[in-house]
Structure 1
Amino acid sequence: MSAGKTGHAAPFAFPGYRPLDHETVRRIVELLLVLGTLFLLDIITTQIILRMGGIELNPFMAGIVTHPALHLVIKAAILLIIFPVSLIAEQRVKGSGAFFYCVLILLYIAVILNNLLFIVPRIAM
């Protein structure tokens, strides 16, 4: 019996919930990496906008984005919260963890596109 085969329980199991198979955990980790990459792109594009004289439109983040290291720490903390939440959601309702990530990924794609719509025309001038 191989622990690496699809269908075998992965070590990510919270008490009271069904264990997840390795394939599901792998997919959730991959989605976490995609979201983390989008978070990093958001931080970078936001910093570019601020240096170009733009402003942060999210009032909750306005004071945070002026400090890039703090911005990075906040986004990393959010990822550290999202990961166990998505695993628990997936254990409770199959597919919900992936759905959760897909919603967040689409949201951050929109954020990055919005940032690029600010940056690109100013660079092209």
Structure 2
Amino acid sequence: MTAIFVPKKAGTSIPLWIILPSILAGLFLLDILTTQLILNLGGMELNPMMSGVVNSPFLHMLLKIGILILVIAVAIIAEARVKGSGTALYAVLIVMYTVVILNNASVILPHLLAG
């Protein structure tokens, strides 16, 4: 995997192959939490492929864990074949899930301000 380092403290660093999956895992968790909040506020899941899954927080979490494991495996294989491709995969998914979280926040915020 591509090694870019973020300073942790003098003389140590955290490799990118730990940072990127951790960011994606955090975004997955935020997606689950914000989706559950929207459902509790009376909203609905707009993704027809996920509508049956999100009704069970446990199943939703299990699916996201499975997806994360699959993404990590694909990123490792891709990076071994084409340098930078694993990082690119993470970057695309991180941007995509950031947009999902921002959308969820835009649905939640009016309810919080009104209530």
Instruction: Please classify the TM superposition score into its range, dividing by the shorter chain length.
Output: 0.7 to 0.9
The one-letter amino acid of 1:58's match is N
Distance 2:59 2:104 in 1: 19
Choose from 83, 86, 97 the match for 1:94. 83
Matched residues, number: 105
Higher strand share: 2
1:31 aligns with one of 10, 15, 20: 20
TM-score (norm 1): 0.80
Matches for 1:44-63 after TM superposition, within 5 Å? 44-63=33-52
Structure with the larger RCO, 1 or 2 (CA within 8 Å, 6+ apart): 2
Read off the aligned partner of 1:62 and give its amino acid letter. Answer: S
Structure 2 partner of 1:83: 72
* Runs of 4+ more than 3 Å apart: none
CA RMSD of aligned residues (A): 1.5
Q: Aligned residues: percent identity?
A: 48
Counterpart among 52, 56, 60 of residue 71 in structure 1: 60
